[in-house]
Structure 1
Amino acid sequence: MSMLAGATLLTSSLLVATPAQSAEAPARSAQPVAVPAEFGTDWHDPITAAPPVTRPKNTKSCEVTVAEAQFRDFTPYRGTYAPPGDCGRSWSKVVLRLDGKVKGRQYDRLGHLHIGGVEVFRTSTPQPSPDGIEWSVEKDVTRYSDTLRSAQPVEMLIGNVVDDTYTGILDVKVTLTFYAARPTAKTAETTPDRVLTLQDGNTLTTPRNSERVVAEVYATGSGGGCEEYWYLTVPDSAPYSCKATDGPYREVQVEVDGQLAGIAAPFPTVWTGGWSNPFLWYVIPGPRAFDIQPIRYDLTPFAGLLNDGRPHRVEVSVVGVPEGQSGWSTPVNVLVWQDEKSEHVTGALTESRAGDLASASTYTPGAEHRLDTEGGHRLTVSGYVETSHGRVTTTVRRSLANTSVHTWSDGENPDALKARWTDDETVTVDGRGPARATRTQRSYTMDGTTTLGAGDRLRTVLTLGDRAAVTGTYGGRRTAWSRLDDTYTGDATYTAGVPRDQRHAVGTTSERYRLYGSGGCYDRSLVTVQGVLTEDKGSGGGRAGSSGC
């Protein structure tokens, strides 16, 4: 495997979110502590700078336990979910919370939770200390309210291996907290009426009065093979351990009845065993590693086609994966908003225009091997529906681009990557009154180097970025905006090929999460040294543009 593959087998881990804290209270500075000269047998529980889920105030709440299990193999937990009896059937918010603990030694593991066949949560796990850690993660799952209104089967799996070497048993509990309230107009608009899954793997039948259709795909490259590090793969002509026929360009596509309906850039998630150095991730995980976010595709231009009452094929594929090779998981949920005043919403797809898919990797041999990659794609789809409130036309324009420079020397030492992915999407809805548009400009970055030096000292220096700019307009005038900048940096070194107590590991990691805009601002920074949290500062409230935002 890439990035000094042999070292990857020494240890492995995952990211973790801080136990829930008040969204209103600003983060406090970490208390001064003595920093050890190197990692020991214990370290701070995993924590992220991302904001907690906000919760309604002065609202009745009800909690339901969805799953409680110890994962020690690949046997899924199965149970039954029952909705809360005392909080009604309409909720202002539903918050999922996972609490976990593990001790000993264990790899990072991927997990999922299905309720009624709907994937409501996808996650990964942290690597424990010998003395044990605890972690938690929260997620807003209000959009799955349709599924949660009735009793449903539950399946949860975090595939794990426990033996004489890997001793960590994953002990987890998942709850849902329901906040009862009469839905506001905004809640009713943003929460779908139906949540559907694909039948027989790839068929979808929507209600005949669907007026908005959005697919979400929990796309993850994983499984221990090279697709876990897809951004480092090289063409067959280059001398590197992870091969892919066309290089590292990846694109997640959705087709409806064989016609291209959506494109997206996958997020380059780094699990906590990533880049050959678990000491980067023991306390602060990489962005999104705990709460794996789905890719969203607005399929409303196809609503008129889908509303004929017949099953339609909806298929997901990942461009760039070598033929016949596994390594990607792409479960699909479909969110549907219905026109309650119509029995049948008709319509048509009026435009479907895809540019040529560009994916080119150029290998340059030498003392330093080099692979330059450029890729990209454009898609425009447009369609209308005849609703009870008039004809509504939805147009989706999406443009993807990827550039990367991958360099390595013989033995893949050193091994370095500098890459950037952009995913620019504009959804325009034009009906009665001025047109409404939402533009989302996503940017993901990765810049890192791994080196095995004298005395088998393995060092990894890495920076990851998750950024997004969202602008909403009405009649061409800006009505709302937000900016996200989540940046992780790490520098960790340890002695490879020796038992844990002889690694003499050191590491400094940090994360700054900034989210600001017309809705306010949030700004929090964390710093760790040798597993000790040395800085935790920021603000969780105030208006956009205030100090720290």
Structure 2
Amino acid sequence: MLPKGFFHRRVVLTAGLVLGLTGSAFGAAAGNTATNKAPSSTSPVGSTNVTVADPTVPRPPGTPCTVQLFSGVAFNDFNPRPYAYAPPAGCGTRWSKVVLEADFSVTAGRQFDRTATLWLGGVNLYFGTTEEPSSTVAPSWHVERDLTDYSALLRQAGNGQALIGNVVNSTYTGVIYGSARLLFYPASILAPAAHAPDAVVPLGSDPVGNTVSLATPSSQLSKSLSLPTNVERAYLDVFVQSQNADEFWYTCVPDQYAAEVQECGGGNFREAEISIDGQPAGVAPVYPWIYSGGIDPYLWRPTTGVQTLNFMPYRVDLTPFAGVLSNGAAHQVAVNVAGANNYFSATASLLLYLDPHAKTVTGQIERNTLVGQPPTPTIGDTLTTDSSGNITGAITTQLSRHFIIAGYANTSHGRVDSTVDQTVGFGDIQTFTINATTYRQVTDQQTSSDGVSQSTVGGFVTGKYSEHMRYPLHLDVNQVTAADGSFTLATVAHQGDEKNLAHQLFGITLYSAKLSNTVDSDDTLAFDASGNLTSHSNQQSTQTFAFNDSLGGCYRTDVGSFSGAVSSYATGTGCPGQQNRLFWFTHPDGSPENGNAVLGW
């Protein structure tokens, strides 16, 4: 039985808004992956502003050309903020690197977390969420995204827009402001032009850019595309962001248990499925982002959750389909979210490398074992209910799929056989303790992906790219009710983002890298018998972001906070000379590699 005065935590935090505690609204999201722009010599200890450990995008030598997209724009409604784009004059047409920089802030007061997206010609340039303010703190934050792989898009003038839907009235007073610019680093001897895709094709139908809502597993982000006839390699960058009833999908349970344990239904397995002409073509795991108003907003002040302010796309290798995509016919490329339960916001961009010495590439898919493997998890439980109605036990959700997709393309270099060999896994245990005084739910979840992309010419393996990813999540939400009906809600959260990758050429490892980003937060809310928030205590958090690679690159930063302010900050720990050292062509922020067997610079 539920404790007296029990409130579902989503209701608790929304009710808390009335008393000045900002919470996460359905359909609104909040963020992470921000970076303070303060000089490195200035310690953030004592600051209540957004402070995270994430690295910024490394830069090549030289002075960049800058294109300002917009500056000091206020977001106080749901209307788009349009801008016109033109490539930088006198900066060439091929660059060693292109970086998006954006700065955001929100005035002190009361406001939900909000989804933020930037677009150009239908293509997503940035996807993230905003930090919630408080009555005394007006947070500001800085985000960056490596857009080098989108250079083909940026060589053409076009129209773009910024979207941050925001309600400003007498109750929700926080006004969001933003500025964004693109930095183009000219190619040089020390920093040659990037080997970027030759075409960038958006899947959305909006010519300027917007997300598509996927309310059910059968809902699709889909587009019929007539592509160039000389595609050599193809990749799909995918974003799927949980919204509305799906915002807390990672805590939900299968429908048959929802009423018993007082949780959201629909299950807790989510995964993006990619198809070409209706045939399964790949899988994109979904990261369990927690927005800055999620569960308990104090958990994410001043350090947000993993990637909250700056989502990273998941890159799906579609190269085995290169020959098929080049056949001159229109092809339907689609994304849906398995388990979607109202709803996910989705966008995707197709990145194409073209054969410069052939007008036509032919080929076929020869093997696809993802066909016939539907994303259907196995469900189990150990729940028991005693004679007093007390509930204990766990609900488990498990799914693992291994698949191989192989195809060939007849190119100007000869026949190239491409294979994607991938294993995707999902495991979740929801443990419940429900009695007269306690409602406790512990979520332990792990999403994994282990993939190898391989190209073969003349029977010889010419290139191999391997990537291993883990998304661990632990949530412990414990509500304890006192005899007078007042209650406390204690939350402990752990998020992780782990990534190992390696590039090989003719069996020789040219480059490898390892990334780890963890955020640990806890806080306790106190409510009176009427559900009014009276206080919070024991807020503390730590974030550790570590990266190292086979070239000697090293980055580590640790941030600690207590009672809403930065309490510790250290950078370079464990690196040679106790200093961070990153090569300009690497991806320490976790942005996707191009998947090519040869290094992507």
Same fold (TM > 0.5) = yes
Q: 1:180 to 1:502 in 2, by over 3 A?
A: same
Alignment-derived partner of residue 368 in structure 2: 352
**Where do residues 111-190 of structure 1 align in structure 2 (5 Å cutoff)?**
111-131=116-136, 132-182=138-188, 187-189=193-195
1:326 matched to 2:342: yes
Alignment match of 1:77 (pick from 75, 81, 87): 81
Deviation string 1:224-261 (CA, Å, 9 cap, x unpaired) is 31x1111222122212444445x212221101001100
What is the letter of the counterpart of residue 247 of structure 2? Answer: E
Match of 2:278 in 1: 258
Distance 1:243 1:128, change over 3 A: closer
Q: Distance in 1 between matches of 2:190 and 2:198?
A: 15
Matching of residue 296 in structure 1 with residue 300 in structure 2: no
2:550 is the alignment partner of 1:518: yes
What are structure 2's unaligned runs of at least 5 residues?
A: 1-5, 17-21, 25-29, 206-221, 386-390, 583-601
- Contact 2:525–2:533 under 8 Å retained in 1: no
**Counterpart selection for 2:23 from 12, 29, 37:** 12
User: What is the aligned partner in structure 2 of residue 420 from structure 1?
Assistant: 446
Confirm or deny: 8 A CA contact 1:28 1:537 kept in the other structure. Answer: no
Q: Choose the corresponding residue for 1:361, options 370, 379, 382.
A: 379
The superposition leaves residues 435-472 of structure 1 with CA deviations (integer Å, 9 ceiling, x where unpaired) of 31111110111112112234432211111111111122
In the alignment, does 2:513 pair up with 1:486? no
Partner SS, residue 151 of structure 2: helix
Partner of 1:36: none
Change (3 A) 1:546 1:92: closer
Aligned pair partner of 1:212 in 229, 233, 236: 233
> What does residue 248 of structure 1 align with?
268
Q: Distance in 2 between matches of 1:375 and 1:545?
A: 42
Residues 253-290 of structure 1, C-alpha deviations (whole Å, 9 max, x = no match): 1010011000132111111122x210010211111111
Q: Does structure 2 conserve the Cα–Cα contact (< 8 Å) formed by 1:423 and 1:441? A: yes
- Identity among equivalent positions (%) equals 29
Shift of residue 79 of structure 1? 2.2
Partner amino acid, structure 2, of 1:90: R
The answer to whether the 8 A contact 2:51-2:566 is kept is: no
Instruction: Give yes or no for the alignment of 1:386 onto 2:407.
Output: no
What is the aligned partner in structure 2 of residue 338 from structure 1? 354
Q: Is the 8 A contact 1:496 1:503 kept in 2?
A: yes
CA–CA distance in 2 between the matches of 1:250 and 1:20?
35
Distance 1:172 1:500, change over 3 A: farther
| Counterparts of residues 215-234 of structure 1 (less than 5 Å) | 215-222=236-243, 224-225=244-245, 227-234=246-253
Change in Cα spacing, 1:101 to 1:54, as seen in structure 2 (3 Å) is same
Q: Take 1:124 and 1:547, find their aligned partners in 2: how far apart are those partners?
A: 28
Query: In the alignment, residue 443 of structure 2 is paired with which amino acid?
Result: L
Moved more, 362-371 or 136-145: 362-371
Query: In structure 2, how many angstroms separate the alpha carbons of the residues matched to 1:205 and 1:198?
Result: 12
Amino acid at match of 1:487: T
Decide whether the 8 Å contact of 2:122 with 2:204 is kept in 1. Answer: no
| Contact 2:239–2:347 (Cα < 8 Å) also in 1 | yes
CA–CA distance in 1 between the matches of 2:531 and 2:496? 33
What residue number does 1:508 align with? 540
Q: Distance in 1 between matches of 2:581 and 2:81?
A: 44
Letter in 2 for 1:384: Y
For residue 90 of structure 2, the aligned residue among 80, 86, 93 is 86
The residue type paired with residue 566 of structure 2 is L
Q: Structure 2 CA distance, aligned partners of 1:136 and 1:252?
A: 28
TM-aligned CA distance change 1:501 to 1:268, over 3 Å? closer
TM-score in terms of structure 2 length: 0.82
The 2-side partners of 1:252 and 1:487 are apart by 23
Distance in 1 (alpha carbons) for counterparts of 2:166 and 2:355:
45
Q: 2-side partners of 1:82 and 1:540: how far apart? A: 42
TM-score by length of 1: 0.89
User: What letter matches 1:516 in structure 2?
Assistant: N
How many angstroms does 1:431 deviate by? 2.2
Q: Deviations over 1:104-147 (max 9, x none)?
A: 11111112111011011101000112231211111111111111
C-alpha distance in structure 1 between counterparts of 2:38 and 2:547, whole Å: 17
Separation of aligned partners in 2, 1:19 and 1:66: 20
Question: Which residue of structure 2 lines up, in the alignment, with residue 533 of structure 1?
Answer: 566
- What residue is the counterpart of 1:476 in the other structure? 507
Alignment partners' CA distance in 1, 2:384 and 2:309: 38
CA contact (8 A) 2:65 2:88 kept: no
Q: 177-186 or 327-336: which moved more?
A: 177-186
Q: Which residue of 1 aligns with 2:457?
A: 431
Structure 1 Cα separation of the partners of residues 326 and 190 of structure 2: 28
1 CA distance for matches of 2:350 and 2:577? Answer: 33
CA distance in 2, matches of 1:234, 1:521: 40
Counterparts in 2 of 1:408 and 1:473: CA distance versus 1, 3 Å: same
The within-5 A match list for 1:396-407 is 396-407=420-431
Q: In structure 1, list runs of 5 or more residues that go unmatched.
A: 34-42
How many residues of Structure 1 are paired with residues of Structure 2 in the alignment? 528
- Partners of 2:364 and 2:407 within 8 A in 1: yes
**C-alpha contact 2:474 2:494 (8 A) present in aligned 1:** yes
CA distance in 1, matches of 2:121, 2:110: 33
Q: Give the stretch that moved more between structures: 213-222 or 197-206.
A: 197-206
Task: Mark the CA change 1:501 to 1:270 in structure 2 (over 3 Å): closer, same or farther.
Answer: closer
Cα distance change on mapping 1:68 and 1:241 into 2, 3 Å = farther
The one-letter code matched in structure 2 to 1:233 is: C
TM-superposed deviation, 1:545: 11
Cα distance in 1 for partners of 2:577, 2:422 equals 28
Matching residue within 316, 329, 336 for 1:310: 329
Residue 502 of structure 1 and its aligned partner are, at CA, apart by: 4.2
- Paired with 2:50 and 2:179, the residues of 1 have a C-alpha distance of 17
Q: Secondary structure at the match of 1:414?
A: strand
Amino acid at match of 2:307: R
Deviations for 1:397-444, whole angstroms, at most 9, x for unmatched residues? 111111111022448821210111111111011126643111111011
